[in-house]
């Protein structure tokens, strides 16, 4: 299992490997939150949010990674599994950031489609 401090260290290492241009206008940076975040449309508490990209009037643009969500999903998995998934989540959230800067919404649409597919599995066709 990866503890919160290791989680933060892994995220910092991954961020250090990314091109500097990725951080343009990401004034709040990448933050780690120790809590779990359940998606509001989850059936029970199974669908957790691993990371989020925020565009806030007061706080600007920033990314949050939810350690508690990773802990729920990956628990006692090897550190390498955690590292791969943290990197996947960071890259996903940076894609939201870069698309936002470019005025694009492709990933938002892809995420909405995946959520609709999840909901359909439980509630049938919408």
Question: Residues 11-28: what's their mean pLDDT?
Answer: 98
Residues 99, 119: Cα–Cα separation, whole Å: 26
55-110 pLDDT, tens digit each: 999 999 999 999 999 999 999 999 999 999 999 999 999 999 999 999 999 999 99
pLDDT of the residue at 125: 55
Cα distances from 125 to residues 74, 114, 118, 119, 121, in angstroms, run: 30, 13, 11, 8, 8
Among 120, 121, 119, 93, which residue's Cα sits nearest to residue 107? 93
Residues 97, 53: Cα–Cα separation, whole Å: 7
Residues 95, 89: Cα–Cα separation, whole Å: 10
- Percent helix, strand, coil in the chain, to 5, is 55, 15, 30
Is residue 126 pLDDT above 70, yes or no? Answer: no
pTM over 0.85: yes
Residues 96, 103: Cα–Cα separation, whole Å: 10
User: Which of 15-19, 76-80, 120-124 comes out lowest in average pLDDT?
Assistant: 120-124
């Amino acid at each position: 299992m990866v503890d919160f401090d290791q989680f933060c260290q892994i995220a910092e290492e991954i961020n250090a490997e990314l091109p500097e241009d990725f951080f343009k206008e990401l004034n709040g940076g990448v933050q780690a939150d120790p809590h779990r975040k359940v998606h509001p449309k989850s059936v029970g508490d199974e669908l957790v949010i691993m990371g989020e990209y925020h565009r806030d009037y007061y706080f600007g643009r920033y990314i949050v990674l939810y350690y508690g969500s990773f802990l729920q999903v990956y628990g006692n998995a090897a550190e390498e599994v955690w590292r791969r998934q943290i990197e996947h989540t960071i890259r996903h959230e940076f894609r939201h950031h870069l698309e936002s800067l470019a005025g694009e919404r492709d990933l938002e649409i892809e995420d909405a489609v995946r959520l609709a597919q999840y909901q359909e599995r439980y509630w049938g066709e919408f």
